[in-house]
Every structure is written in C-alpha cells, then in structure tokens.
Structure 1
Amino acid sequence: MAVEGVPVEPVGLGAGGDARARDLDRHVFHSWSAQATPVDFVLAGGSGSWVWNEAGERWLDFSSQLVNTNIGHQHPRVVAAIQEQAATLTTVAPSAAHRVRGEAAEAILDLAGPGFDGVFFTNGGADANENAIRMARLHTGRDKVVSHYRSYHGNTGAAVVATGDWRRVPNEYARGHVHVFGPHLYRSEFWASTPEQECERALHHLRRVVESEGADSIAAVLLETIPGTAGVLVPPPGYLRGVAEICRRHGILLILDEVMAGFGRAGSWFAHHDEDVVPDLVTFAKGVNSGYVPAGGVIVSAPVRATFAGRVFPGGLTYSGHPLAMAAIVATLAAMREEDVVGNARAVGEQVLGPGLADLAARHDVIGEVRGRGVFWALELVADRATREPLPAAVVGALKADLLRRGLLPFVAENRLHVVPPCVITPDEARTGLTIVDAALGAL
C-alpha cells in the first residue's frame, strides 16, 4: 500500500548527521537499558514500511518501532491533520469540551461495537491500564486484580505490578495484585498436549485461584487479548470466553488490554472481536494513531460509566485528549477505513506471512514454533527442537545484528524474533522481509 505524497527514497544527508545524532544521544537516559551501553542505531526518516538514516541507508521496518506504527511512517493524511490542528489550537484543558476530542471518541466507539458508552483518554497504554484498574476498583468496591505472568501492561505503578515479566519484580509497590498462568501450549504449565487441554486446564487454574483468593475480593481480571511482548501468545479457542464466564459468575470486571493487539495489528479492529467476547473495559494506545502523537485510553461500558454519573471519578491527566493526538486519531482511523488497512493486515497475514513463516520453520531447525495472526507474529527460536531449549541470548543478538546489516529492522525479545511490520505493508514487501529473515537464519 503505497503512501502517496511521501518520497520512498530518502535524501542522503551524509554520515555526519548520524555521527552528530549519536553524540547528542549520550545525554539521553534510555528506557530498559544500562546507560553505559551506547545506542549506535540512528533513524532520520521514514515512509510507509521503510525507515532510513541521514546517510541514506534504508531498512524494511519489521518492528513497527515498538509495534505501533500500524498505518506506516509519515502517512500524509495524518501528518496534515496534526499540522492543521497545530495551526488552530495546540492544547486545551481536559475539563473543556473540544470538537476533535469528541470526534475521536465517536470514531473509537463506532469501532468498539455495542455495549460501550464512553472513552477516557490517556497519554499512553500504561496509564490506560492504570485508570481501568482504578475504575474497576471503584465500580466494584473490591481491591484485587488478577493478571497473567506472561504479560506486559505498562511501566506505571499498578500497570507494572499487573505485568508478569521480569520488569515487575524491582517495581512491586502497588497492592492487591495476583498472577496466574495463561495458556501457552508450546511451553505449557499444565502438561497439556492439545489446545483443548491447554484451554480447559488454564481455565481450571484461573477458576481455582479466583475461588482461593476470594471471588468477592477481586475487582477485575486484566488480560492482553493476545499477549504481545511475552511472545504473541494467541489464546486457544474458547479461553477468553471461559474467562468472561468466570468473571460474570462472580461479578468481576473483565479488562482486555488491546494496546498492542488492537487497531489492525491482529487483522481486526480489536482482537477480541475474533473471540466473540464483550469485555467491561478495553484499554488501547499505540495503533489508534500509530504513535504519531502519544495517546491512549479506556473504552468504558455503559454500567461502569453509570457508576460515575453523579460520582466524581478521581482520575485525570493534563494532556487527556490532547488536540494534536485527537486529530491524529481521527485522521488515522478515517484513512485506515478508506484504505482498508485492517483488511490488508489480515490478507497479508493469511496469504504471505503465515504461510511464509511456516515454510521457514520447515527449513530451519532453529525455529521451534510459529504463532500469530494478521501482522502480529513471533518465531520461537530454540537451540534444540526436541528439548525446546531457548536459543542463547548471544546468538539471538547476533541474528538481530545480521538482520540490520541485511536491511531489516527487527523486533527481538528474549529467544524470539517478532514479525510485526506496519499494517500497510504490501505483499511484495512482506516477501522481501521473509527473504531477508531466511538468509539470516541460514547464516546461523
């Protein structure tokens, strides 16, 4: 899907610009990093599914940066909307009504489907989950939140404690969080050998934890519809419906985190639409405007909104519904609809990425499993297929460096290579990326 009005070929500005950028970067305190390790990779521009540095070197973006540029880089319609809004009103207090904020909420609710009655806007995904937890606790009068060990929900107080991976441990300051194992047949915690067994046993595990914790003490179950950073763990059929039934039985709210999976990434507007589940709260960010301006939010069901009809919700952000972010949302969703970006993501997944990655797995023993949908895939890399021993970190690091040398910008996490290009990627671009991955895996 070509992006009209934006040059695909970068204008080479010379390696000096990259050197200057690296020099200035030493003043930046980077996320999730040891600060003595220099950042050598420099980006200066992008278009569609491609990015480049100031020297004119180009990479096919198979990372979507942090799995957020769903509409691709520098979509002219979104850029123009931001520019137009900046010329009109650059900021407005959240207590004031503003047309573009209302338009953004209306566009999101139209995609969310029936049962939802409002959107609480945030600055990103972490504070979306933070405020969803707050709403659930106030709505139910309960305290505990149940979430998965294999998960990531953000880096703020409650969100990072709801997270299941290693980043939770040095940040455990929030109260009332309980973790369970979700389904992951390839590395099952339940001795399962089929998806049906994995689903049944994972639901039994959740049910027993809920009962043992005291169901009437649990405000919410918070799950990523498809856990992303943890490995694109597509749940087995029936799992999310089973979770919803457990929640309904005990008056527990179901919060589905669609920060990474939503807005086309999984080949549908929201990943839970494919699971026939209606949650009480949906959190989003990233793909809603491809990260062009920071934005996130909570899609609120009618019963939860009614709780705060005459009761003050004790939460808010200075930049909630920031005009530039809202203009980017309105333009992004309109362009995605008109250009059938979600349909493109689903088709590329079904016709190119899915079959292509399966072919790679058949030819490279280092791939233990392929899983995903849409433009949301992961390759589980192993040193031994029989034992499923994860590929060592040093080898995965070497693979990442080789992919960069070959012109592909990868997303690597632990022993996995995630294949997460923009939703606008063309079939030919997807095949180009698979060819590069094939060559790099062969070199291992």
Structure 2
Amino acid sequence: MEKGKKRTNYPCDGCSLRLLLPDRGSTQSPRSPSTSGVENESATQQKSLQVYIEYLDKFRDHLTCVWPVVNVESLKSRISGSLDDHDAWALAGAICATHNLVSDDNNVAESFAHHAQRSHNLSNQHHQSTHYKEDTTESLLTAFFLHVYFANTERIRIATVYLHEAIAQLHLQSLHRPEILVSLEEEQRELLLRIFWLVFVTERTFCVQNCFPPCLKPIQTFPLSEFHIQGAGEVDASFQLLAQLFTLLDDNIIVAADRGGVPPDSNAAENLYSALSAMAKQDFSTLAPYLPETQRVNVLMTGNWIHILWWQFALSHYQMSSRMDDAMLSMLKPAKVAHETMRLLGSVSQQAIRTHGYGLELKVFRIADALIDILACNTWLSSLQPGCNSMLLGARDVLRSLQKALLLIGWPESLFHKKLMLVMAESQLAVPDVKALTTCEEEECVDYS
C-alpha cells in the first residue's frame, strides 16, 4: 500500500542513495576511470555517507528508546571507515529505512531498504565463500529491521522471510537459552537479552496480525532495568512490562481468527483467566507518567490491544457479564478500553503517535472495531439492566476520535480507516462520505485485520 505522505526533507536523498556504491563488490568500473570521474564518484559517495549518518543520528535521538540494541556511533565509524564492511552497511541501511518509514520519507526509506538488502546478501555470500561459520549480531539485527520495514509497508511475504531469518539466527546464537548467556560478559548478555525480547514481541505482533503460529517461546530471564550499554543506553521498567504483556498471548489468541470454529484447547479457560487476572493487576498508572512519550504510547496501547484480543476470544467461547465492574469478562470492556485509549492519545504529541506507524494503526483499528460491536448491540444491553450501559455515554464521540487517530497514523490512504468506515456503515452508524474499497484493498484489509 502506498500511503499519501508528503516528503518534506532531503528531496534528492533517494537519488543520492541510488548512486551509492553501484558496483559494490566489483573490482572494475564500467567506464575507464578518469580524474574527474574518480572525483565525482568520491563526491557522490561522500554525500551518500553523509545522508546515512544524518539518519542514523535521527534514529539515535528518537528511536533508541524503542529499539535499545544499536551502538549508532560505532556503526557510523564502521561505515565511514570501509565501503566493504557489508555487515555494517546492511545494518545501517535497515535502520535508516525503518526510521524514514516512521518519519514519512517513503521514497528514501525504499532506497535505504534496497541497499540494506544488497549489502546483506553480499555479506552472506562473503561468509559462505570464506566458510565463515559465526553468525553475527549485526546480521541478526539487519534481518530484524528489514522485517520491521517490510511488515510496516505491508509486504507480508518478504517480511515473513526476514522474520524467520532473524529467529533462525537467534536460535543459532542460543539467545533463547539463558543458561548459555550466563557465561558471557554482562554487557554482551544484557544486549542479547534485549534482542531476544524485541524479536519475541515483534513475532507475536506479526503472528496476531496474520494468524501465523509463533515459533519463539518466552524465557524467564529479562534484561536488567537501568543497566547501561555503551551506545545503546538503558532500558527502564517498561521494557520488561511490555515483554511480560506479550507472554500473555498464547497460541489460542494468536491464531484465533484462523481456527474456523475449532474449539480452544483444554487449557484455554485456565490461560484466559490467569492472563486477564495478571493484566488486571498491572498498575500502569504509576509507571506511565515516568516513561518517555514514545514508550508510554507503546506500553499502554499494547496493554489496551491485548485486553481487546482476550475479550474477542472470550466473547466467542465463554459466558460474558453485562456488568462494567466485572474486570474479567465484562461485555462492555471495549468501551472502557476505548475511553482509556483516547485519553492516552490526547495526552501525547503527534510525533509520539506516528512513530509506531502500522503497529499502532492496527491496535487502534482493533479497539475501534470492538467498540462498534458494543454500539451495535446497545439496545440489547440496555434491556438487560438499567444503567448497565452508562459507559457507552459518549462512546460515539470516542469512536469518531479513534477514526481521526487512524487518519493521523495512516494518513488519508489508510486502509484501516477505510475498513472502519465500512464497518461503521454496515452497523448503521453515521459515517461521512463512505467509499467502497477496491477488490485489492478489501483483500488487504481482510488479510491484515
């Protein structure tokens, strides 16, 4: 999906990047070298390097708190020192592509991703030709960030390939075995634990979106809060909280939409109650005010989204309550979650919201979709018990606000926004200017929602 985003910076960055190392790995230029030609090539390479450094600095300043696993200064030093350090160039390109995606420079992001793929392939070829047997952290992170990029641009097949590559390298490097990590230096161990949990959280999100069975299983070891890693900084308590939230997503939830009416396994009821009980005990209110905006949005929206996923699963398999004070299985839970979501989004900057891109767009859509279900059966609810639907007061205004949030995150061409408009119309809720989706758009909405 090509979103209607306006480029505001570096109008020729994409062109500069396309000229970067056109024959990297080749020993011969297609033309006979001349003094002026060599000078022009050198100038082009220097300009391209400056573009990389510019965006790596932006990643360091704005996204290290989201992905605290990269020493940007070390990476800048490596790409400045060698054109043949394919591992470094691949990771730099993947990181820059991811940053530009969330900052709306789509054309530049695509150029970065293309160069990252080329460098990643060259690195793999080099390792194979020299019988290099050690898998590197840089290679794992390159596959991870390329997955993030292609997942956010909704190219699911290639995103799946890179995710599986990252998971394979994670297993080859034994990041899923804390007993092996114990023997490492403390800083290296902490870095690898961060990487494991970032891949774990990312895989769970991707599998929920696409009804894929997950590969990774949670471990019982988390990174230490406030442990400083050179160049990557510290993680606060929210990192562990976020990881713990994702451990509550069991296989019944992740592939629920693809079960085709198959009943959940025998442990589903026990898992449901223990997960909802664990979430009910999480005191986000005390932690949230001390988090950076970007992390606050990430943690609180993830909690809200997981509440909705469990609610939708429970709705299909268990008897629900019409009482709002039933924290476990209330029919009205989406109304409360939607109110909390809008309070959160109204308290942070637009940049903190847009930073999370497609992942946040999906979460807002799922919350809005669940709220529509409640509004659609409002008449039935009000007949059960006087006052039981008081939480629905103002719910339509909240729904409109969620609709606007989708436009803010996904821009006017957001497929999730179009899908939400159709769902509202089908539920006989007032919608301005509803337009039918094209066949292609409808298929994409079904695939990703």
Alignment TM-score, normalising by the size of structure 2: 0.29
Greater fraction strand: 1
Alignment TM-score, normalising by the size of structure 1: 0.29
| Greater Rg by CA | 2
